[in-house]
């Protein structure tokens, strides 16, 4: 259980995290989403006691991370930035971490096997590939067999094989009933693994919802795809019913502002034949883009005109530096 | 997989006895110290310097005996000449001290360290303790080797002294103590500046540049300042022959330890307060 209440972090004038409140329930996989620079990493660092909050609290199982007697047993974390001395071997890195808690050497061997690093564990980390480094990070996170795992952009920079490995790992962790808190700036991975989503933009909470309602929220007003041998007549009927439409390249019609039910009824009333009637579901990716875009525009409403004129992506990535 | 349908946690072994304690953090820091190649090389270099440089100087002096003036011969100081290696050993230990902590900041390891021991201060105490004990033991052995080796060579022209000679044992222990305290000071400097180059520059500035700057001041001012310079205060204990304008051996070393404790206190405060 991770509880974040009124959490804020300012770096000088820059507000990285702004009054965030959310709860990660035990036994769920929660996706933490937001564009680059939205404050995801900072929020995770605040939860893990690496950064001091400017305001508010972040607790793990009811305690601040700094007050945990055995933190590695409660939360395992994989940070986005590397956190390993390059001159040490993977085995010795894990051993040194294990010794702070009195975790036995046998467990070090276990996690090395778990992430498939047996062949390189005695080599210096400096020579590791990105994928191997990520596996070592996961081994460190699982060292204390924690019930909660926090992962910051675990798929970043990995090749397809590495991404598949991370995906299977997440499924495995979830299947074991662990609480997983996973950040990403991409939606595609979340679609398959997350139960719940926390979306932030510019350090503020945008959505705290389950995946289905997140998609539904963005899908309201989504178009309906229609195929019919009597398309021109159907297009006229749609128009007179208050909808609009446009022809697609494959000969189908895309109808806006009407539900599939309404279109079906219109077609029946006009005795038009339908070959297809498909409500278009917005993908999680589109829903995410849509909702974060809204938030950024809202944010701009209360800033100066020069800010509004600045391209959105530039202002967000600029803030991260 | 909502909260209601979540399967029970896997059967996990009992970890209740596995919590963070200072002795465990010390064990971890012991492992960290010995599992880096740079540590082993630096310690070896410091050991060779402290144990070997004195005897080497003695060898040169004995080989050139017939060329030495009477004045040269009577000013041979068998204690200081056999223990002079600490000047070089201290440099190696200072750099290693800075790097024990800045190496963690540079590579990001500090984040792993802080997440494993989130109270943070135990990490600093453990680093100071492990490093100080290792350096003191190694430097003490090396100083004895340097002294005894040097005296064995000095017997050639009977300028050797025994361990029981005035100041001999104090200087042997003093060389090891000064080097050790310098290492501890440098861990604290590294914690404060968090960059290897900056930490080493600070050490060099205080130990080598500052004395040079004081030298160019008017002599009365310089003489007033000189005893308080860290290098002079701490160096007194590692030299048998008292230098002009310095405190006594133990008094000077006490002052140096005071400086070290003050810098450690600043480092501890910053470590607690700053983002890792």
Contact A85 B107 (CB under 8 A): yes
Q: Which residues contact B65 (CB under 8 A, 6 or more apart)?
A: B73, B156, B157
Q: Pairing relation of β-strands A2-11 and A55-60?
A: antiparallel
Contact B111 A79 (CB under 8 A): yes
Q: Which chain B residues are Cβ-neighbours of A210 within 8 angstroms?
A: 2
- Report the gap between the CA of A175 and the closest CA in chain B (Å): 7
Q: Across chain B, what does the average pLDDT equal?
A: 93
Nearest to A176 among B10, B28, B273 (CB): B10
- Report the gap between the CA of B263 and the closest CA in chain A (Å): 23
Say if residue B24's pLDDT is above 70. yes
- Tell me the residue length of chain B: 276
Nearest to A145 among B15, B38, B107 (CB): B15
Contact A28 B9 (CB under 8 A): no
Contact B20 A101 (CB under 8 A): yes
pTM attached to this predicted model: 0.84
Say if residue A175's pLDDT is above 80. yes
Count CB-CB contacts under 10 A for residue B118. 21
Nearest to B275 among A27, A52, A68 (CB): A52
DSSP state of A124: B
pLDDT confidence of residue A282: 67
pLDDT band at B13 (very low <50, low <70, confident <90, very high): low
Contact B20 A89 (CB under 8 A): no
pLDDT confidence of residue A85: 96
Nearest to B15 among A70, A100, A140 (CB): A70
Q: Which chain B residues are Cβ-neighbours of A93 within 8 angstroms?
A: 109, 112
Looking at chain A, which residue has its C-alpha nearest residue B117? Answer: A100
More confident residue, B2 or A165: A165
Q: How large is the C-alpha radius of gyration of chain B?
A: 23
How far is it, in rounded angstroms, from Cα A286 to Cα A218?
A: 8
Which residue, B60, B57, B132, is CA-closest to B97? B132
Nearest to A83 among B29, B37, B111 (CB): B111
Average pLDDT over residues A178-200: 83
pLDDT band at B15 (very low <50, low <70, confident <90, very high): confident
Contact B114 A50 (CB under 8 A): yes
Looking at chain B, which residue has its C-alpha nearest residue A171? Answer: B1
Say if residue A201's pLDDT is above 90. no
Mutate to test the interface with A, among B2, B4, B5, B6 (most CBs of A within 10 A): B6
Q: What is the ipTM of this complex?
A: 0.91
How confident is the model over B145-171, as pLDDT tens digits?
999 999 999 999 999 999 999 999 999
What residues are paired with B22 via a beta bridge?
none
pLDDT confidence of residue A250: 84
Counting residues of chain A whose pLDDT is more than 70, the rounded percentage is: 86
Say if residue A50's pLDDT is above 90. yes
DSSP state of B66: G
Catalogue the long-range contacts made by A253-259 (C-beta closer than 8 Å, 24 or more residues apart).
Answer: A253/A225, A253/A226, A253/A227, A253/A228, A254/A223, A254/A224, A254/A225, A254/A226, A254/A280, A255/A223, A255/A224, A255/A225, A255/A226, A256/A221, A256/A223, A257/A221, A258/A224, A259/A224
pLDDT band at B86 (very low <50, low <70, confident <90, very high): very high
Q: Which residues contact B91 (CB under 8 A, 6 or more apart)?
A: none
Which residue, A103, A168, A175, is CA-closest to A142? A103
């Amino acid at each position: 259980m991770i509880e974040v209440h009124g959490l804020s972090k300012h770096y000088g004038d820059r507000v990285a995290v702004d009054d965030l409140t959310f709860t990660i329930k035990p036994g769920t996989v929660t996706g933490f989403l937001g564009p680059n620079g939205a404050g995801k990493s900072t929020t995770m660092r605040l939860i893990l006691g690496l950064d001091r909050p400017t305001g508010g609290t972040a607790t793990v199982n009811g305690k601040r991370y700094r007050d945990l007697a055995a933190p590695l047993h409660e939360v395992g974390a994989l940070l986005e930035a590397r956190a390993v001395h390059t001159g040490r071997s993977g085995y010795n890195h894990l051993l040194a971490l294990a010794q702070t808690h009195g975790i036995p050497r046998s467990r070090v061997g276990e996690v090395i096997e778990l992430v498939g690093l047996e062949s390189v564990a005695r080599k210096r980390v400096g020579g590791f590939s990105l994928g191997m480094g990520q596996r070592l990070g996961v081994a460190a996170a699982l060292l204390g067999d924690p019930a909660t795992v926090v992962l910051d952009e675990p798929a970043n920079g990995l090749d397809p094989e590495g991404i598949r490995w991370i995906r299977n790992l997440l499924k495995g962790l979830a299947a074991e009933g662990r609480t997983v808190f996973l950040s990403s700036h991409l939606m595609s991975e979340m679609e398959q693994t997350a139960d719940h989503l926390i979306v932030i933009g510019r350090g503020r909470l945008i959505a705290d919802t389950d995946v289905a309602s997140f998609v539904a929220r963005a899908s309201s007003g989504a178009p309906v795809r229609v195929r019919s041998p009597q398309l021109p007549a159907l297009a006229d009927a749609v128009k007179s019913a208050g909808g609009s439409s446009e022809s697609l390249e494959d000969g189908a019609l895309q109808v806006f502002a009407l539900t599939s039910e309404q279109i079906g009824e219109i077609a029946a009333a006009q005795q038009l034949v339908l070959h297809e009637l498909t409500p278009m579901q917005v993908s999680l990716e589109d829903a995410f883009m849509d909702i974060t875009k809204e938030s950024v525009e809202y944010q701009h409403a209360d800033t100066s005109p020069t800010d509004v004129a600045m391209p959105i992506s530039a202002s967000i990535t600029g803030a991260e530096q | 997989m909502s909260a209601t349908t979540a399967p029970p946690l896997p059967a996990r072994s009992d970890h209740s006895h596995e919590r963070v304690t200072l002795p465990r953090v010390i064990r971890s820091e012991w492992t960290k110290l010995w599992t880096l190649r740079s540590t082993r090389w630096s310690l070896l270099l410091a050991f060779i310097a402290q144990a070997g440089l004195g005897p080497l100087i003695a060898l040169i002096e004995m080989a050139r005996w017939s060329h030495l003036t009477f004045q040269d011969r009577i000013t041979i100081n068998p204690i200081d000449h056999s223990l002079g290696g600490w000047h070089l050993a201290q440099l190696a230990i200072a750099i290693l001290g800075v790097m024990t902590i800045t190496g963690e900041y540079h590579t990001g390891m500090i984040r792993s360290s802080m997440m494993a021991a989130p109270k943070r201060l135990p990490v600093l105490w453990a680093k100071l303790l492990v490093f100080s004990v290792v350096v003191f033991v190694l430097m003490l052995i090396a100083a004895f080797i340097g002294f005894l080796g040097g005296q064995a060579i000095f017997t050639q022209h009977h300028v050797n002294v025994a361990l029981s000679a005035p100041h001999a044992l104090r200087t042997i222990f003093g060389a090891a103590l000064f080097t050790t305290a310098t290492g501890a000071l440098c861990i604290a400097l590294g914690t404060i500046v968090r960059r290897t180059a900056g930490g080493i520059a600070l050490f060099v500035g205080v130990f080598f540049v500052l004395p040079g700057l004081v030298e160019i001041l008017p002599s009365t001012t310089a003489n007033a300042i000189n005893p308080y310079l860290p290098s002079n205060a701490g160096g007194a204990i590692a030299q048998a022959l008292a230098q002009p304008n310095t405190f006594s051996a133990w008094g000077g070393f006490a002052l140096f330890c005071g400086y070290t404790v003050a810098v450690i206190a600043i480092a501890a405060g910053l470590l607690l307060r700053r983002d890792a």
